[in-house]
Amino acid sequence: MADLTTEFLGIKSPNPFWLASAPPTDKEYNVRRAFEAGWGGVVWKTLGSEGPPVVNVNGPRYGAIYGADRRLLGLNNIELITDRPLQTNLEEITRVKQDYPDRALIVSLMVPCDEESWKAILPMVEATGADGIELNFGCPHGMAERGMGSAVGQVPEYIQMVTEWCKQYYSKPVIVKLTPNITDIRNPARAAFAGNADAVSLINTINSITSVDLDALAPQPTIDGKGTHGGYCGPAVKPIALNMVAEIARDPATAGKPISAIGGVTTWRDAAEFMVMGAGNVQVCTAAMTYGFKVVQEMISGLSQWMDEKGYAATSDFIGQAVPNVTDWQYLNLNYVAKAKIDQDACIKCGRCYAACEDTSHQAIWMKEGRVFEVNDAECVACNLCVDVCPVEECISMVPMAPGAVDPRTGKVVEAGYANWTTHPNNPAAQAAE
C-alpha cells in the first residue's frame, strides 16, 4: 500500500486530506470525530477578534443545486465565521492538538485590517500549539461588508500587508486563503508570496444565488421574504478551482510555491487531479457536509490504489506532474488533427451525438438506415461535443490522424511537426518561422 503521509510546509499529516475551515471544523466535538474518522488535518473554523462573536441568521443558511436523484452538486451558504467566543475556541484547539499530535491543525483567522488586531490575536493562537494559520481573505458575504474576508482578498496590497504582519508576529507557517471572486487569481497569489506567505490555499466560495423561489419571488435560501448572495462550493466549483490552482502553479512568479487546493473535492480522483496540478494537499468541506466524515475513507483507499497502480511510493512523486502540460491556447499544436469515431458495438443508437452535431455543430454525423450513426470525416472538426453528450462512456473516441494522411475536411496533408498560432499564416501578429 502506498504511503499517503504528506508533508506540507513541514507539517506532517497521515494523508493529504484536510477538512477546510467551515462547519465541519467548528468545534472540538467535530474535530475529534473527524480525526477519529481518519482526516489527516483540519483548518479550524475561522476565528475573529476577541469580544462579542458574530451572529448568524436563524433562518436557512444553505441553498443547493442538484443532479439526477437529488445528488447534491453545488451548495451555497450565507454563514459567517465562528459565532462562538474566541477563548472557547482557543481552549478547544489547545486540547485537540495535544491529543492528536500526528494530525495537522491549522487555525483560520479573520480580524479587521489593522496591525493592532493581528498583533493581538496572533500570540494567543501561537499559544495553542496549532501547526499554522490560514488567513481567510475569501469569505464573500457578511464579513466582506465589514471590510474583511474577500474585501481584503480582492486588494493585493492588503493581502501583502496583512501577510507581512502575520509573518512578523507569528512564528509558524502562514497560509493565505484566496477568494475566487476576482478576475485574475495570479495577482493575489503573487501578493501573498511577496508578503512572505508560506503557501496559498484556494478557493474559498464563489459569489452566487442558487435559485429563486418563484412563489415568493425571492432568492433562496429565503429569510423572511428576502435573500442574499452567498458562497458557492461543492462539485460544481471544482473546474474553476482547478484552473485557478493551475494558473498559480504555472505562473513564473509563483511556480513551485506550496498550494493547498480546495473546491469540490469529493473523491480520491478530485484530490489526485488537484495534486498533479500542483497542490501539496487538498481541503474538503462540502463532501463532508453532504456525506459525513466517513467520506475520507474512500479518498484514502482510492488514492492509495491509484498510487499503487501508477507505482508512486509517496505523494511527492506526483505532486505538480501535470503542470508542464498546462499551456496557453496559442501554444497548442495546430498540426494535430483528430476525428471522432463511433464504436458501433458500444453505440445504443440514442442519436444524441447526431442532434448535437447536426443542430449545433458541424453537421458531421450521418444518421443512416436503421439508426446507424457514423462520423463524416470530411466535416468533423474534432470538437468533442459528441463525446461529451454520448451517454455511453468510451463509445465515441477522438482518433488522431497519422502524419502523412490527408484530412478529408481540409484536403491538407497532416504534418508531423509542431506548429502553433504564433506562427500561423492567418495570425496577423505571426512571427515568421525561423
Partner 1 sequence: MANGHQASGIVAARLPAADIADNFSDLHPAYAPHEAAVAADRCYFCYDAPCMTACPTDIDIPQFIREIQAGHPESAARTILGQNILGGMCARVCPTETLCEEVCVRETAEGKPVEIGRLQRYATDALMAKGEHPFTRAEPTGKRVAVVGAGPAGLSCAHRLAMLGHDVTVCEARKKPGGLNEFGIAAYKSTNDFAAREADWLLKIGGITLETGKALGDGVTLDGLKADHDAVFLSIGLGGVNALRASGEDLPGVRDAVDFIEELRQADDLAALPVGRNVVVIGGGMTAVDAAVQSKLLGAENVTIAYRRSRDAMPASRFEQDLAASRGVKLMFNVMPVAILGDGAVTGVELEYTTVEEGRVRGTGERLTLAADQLFKAIGQTLDGAPDGVALEGGKIAVTGAGRTSVAGVWAGGDCASGGDDLTVTAVAEGRDAAMDIHAALTS
Q: Choose among 57, 58, 47: nearest CA to 86.
A: 47
User: Residues 111, 48: contact at Cβ < 8 Å?
Assistant: yes
User: Residues 387, 365: contact at Cβ < 8 Å?
Assistant: no
Please choose, out of 184-192, 230-238, 314-322, 388-396, the segment that lies near ligand FMN by the rule CB under 6 A. 230-238
Contacts of 145 (CB under 8 A, 6+ apart): 151
Longest CA–CA separation in the chain, Å = 77
Q: Which contiguous run of DSSP H or E holds residue 375?
A: strand 372-375
How many helices (H) and strands (E) the chain has is answered by 12, 20
Please choose, out of 62-70, 94-102, 198-206, 281-289, the segment that lies near partner 1 by the rule CB under 8 A. 62-70
Cell of 87: 477563548
Across 48-194, the runs of DSSP E, i.e. the strands, are: 62-66, 72-77, 104-109, 132-136, 174-177
Of these, 348, 378, 406, 413, which contacts ligand SF4 (CB under 6 A)? 348
Which of 71/226 has CB closer to partner 1? 71
260 binds ligand FMN (CB under 6 A): no
Residue 395 touches which of ligand FMN, ligand SF4, partner 1, none (Cβ within 5-8 Å per kind): ligand SF4
Query: Is-catalytic flag, 353?
Result: no
368 binds partner 1 (CB under 8 A): no
Residue 342 touches which of ligand FMN, partner 1, ligand SF4, none (Cβ within 5-8 Å per kind): ligand SF4
Of these, 6, 46, 260, 281, which contacts ligand FMN (CB under 6 A)? 46
Phi, psi of 206 (to 5 degrees): -105, 135
Which of 391/428 has CB closer to partner 1? 391
68 binds partner 1 (CB under 8 A): yes
**x/- contact string, 329-358, with partner 1 (CB under 8 A)?**
-------------------xxxxx-xx---
Residue 167 touches which of ligand SF4, ligand FMN, partner 1, none (Cβ within 5-8 Å per kind): none
Spatial strand order in the sheet of 62-66: 62-66, 72-77, 230-233, 206-208
370 binds partner 1 (CB under 8 A): no
Shortest distance (Å) from residue 211 CB to ligand SF4: 18
Of these, 323, 367, 399, 414, which contacts partner 1 (CB under 8 A)? 367
Across 31-185, the runs of DSSP E, i.e. the strands, are: 41-47, 62-66, 72-77, 104-109, 132-136, 174-177
Other CB atoms closer than 10 Å to residue 39's CB: what's the count?
28
391 binds partner 1 (CB under 8 A): yes
364 binds ligand SF4 (CB under 6 A): no
Cell of 1: 500500500
Shortest distance (Å) from residue 255 CB to partner 1: 43
Shortest distance (Å) from residue 351 CB to ligand FMN: 35
Alpha-carbon Rg for the chain, nearest whole angstrom, is 25
Distances (CA, A) of 6 to 10, 20, 21, 209: 9, 16, 19, 36
Query: Which residues, 184 to 203, sit near ligand FMN by CB under 6 A?
Result: none
Strands 230-233, 206-208: pairing is: antiparallel
Distance of CA 293 to the CA centre of its chain: 19
Q: Which of 113, 139, 357, 386 is catalytic?
A: 139
Q: Interface with ligand SF4 by CB under 6 A: which residues?
A: 342, 347-353, 373, 390, 392, 395-396
Q: Interface with partner 1 by CB under 8 A: which residues?
A: 68-70, 348-352, 354-355, 367, 371, 391-392
Q: Interface with ligand FMN by CB under 6 A: which residues?
A: 20-23, 45-46, 75, 77, 79, 81, 108, 136, 138-139, 177, 204-205, 233-234, 237, 262-265, 284-287
